[in-house]
Amino acid sequence: MPERPIGSALKALAGSNVSRGFESRPLCLTNYRLDRRFVLLAVGTNVMAAGVAVALGFFLSSVTALAWIFGVLTVAALLNAVRVFAFPPVVARTDPGGLRVGGQLTVKPIRVPWLDIEDVTTEGGRLFVDRGNDEVLAFPLVYVGRRAPQLLRDIYDRLNAANGYRRFNPS
């Protein structure tokens, strides 16, 4: 049975071992979204606001302008609930330039370049980023949920790439 070509044209020209030695995961932009338990809280709040707006719209239906305003508020709250459920907000982002933690529905967003980070530790479900000069950034890993180990591995890999050696070890 003849061997069938698989992979790219480069593999076909250079042989099957062309990708050996390269990382399987490129160091590009990676987003970590808010965990579902926090998203559901935001969705529930929007649905409750929509319910209050509908009730007020019915009670004030004698005034047509107010009924329309509360109707528009109801639709806006429901659309926002669907948006937050479908696309949870980004709470952590890693890219070749640095780390950004925080965002909508969590803590204030802060960006830290990789070369400004002195040390990274985890304790009690929190990520501590030491920026030097007695500045320590604390970020609750519960916001990321099940992707917390992946975020930690990504941070350590990017710190190692930025520093040019294996300085940080997540274990």
- pLDDT of 117-166, one tens digit each? 888 999 999 999 998 888 899 999 999 999 999 999 999 888 888 877 65
Please, which pLDDT band fits residue 170 given cuts at 50, 70 and 90?
low
Q: Are residues 101 and 78 in the same domain?
A: no
The domain tally of the chain equals 2
Q: Are residues 104 and 80 in the same domain?
A: no
Can you give the pTM of this predicted structure? Answer: 0.71
- Domain end: 45, 60, 86, which one? 86
Residues near 144 by Cβ (< 8 Å), separated by ≥ 6? 32, 34, 35, 91, 92, 151
- Domain end: 86, 117, 144, which one? 86
- Domain end: 86, 107, 124, which one? 86
Mean pLDDT, the chain, whole residue set: 83
- Residue 42 lies inside a defined structural domain of this protein: yes
- Residue 148 lies inside a defined structural domain of this protein: yes
Structural domain for 68, as ranges = 36-86
Residues near 156 by Cβ (< 8 Å), separated by ≥ 6? 120, 168, 169, 170
Q: Taking 50 as the threshold, does the pLDDT of residue 23 lie above it?
A: no
- We report the CATH number of the domain holding residue 111 as 2.30.29
Q: Are residues 94 and 154 in the same domain?
A: yes
Characterize the bridge pairing of strands 90-95 and 119-123.
unpaired
pLDDT, position 7? 47
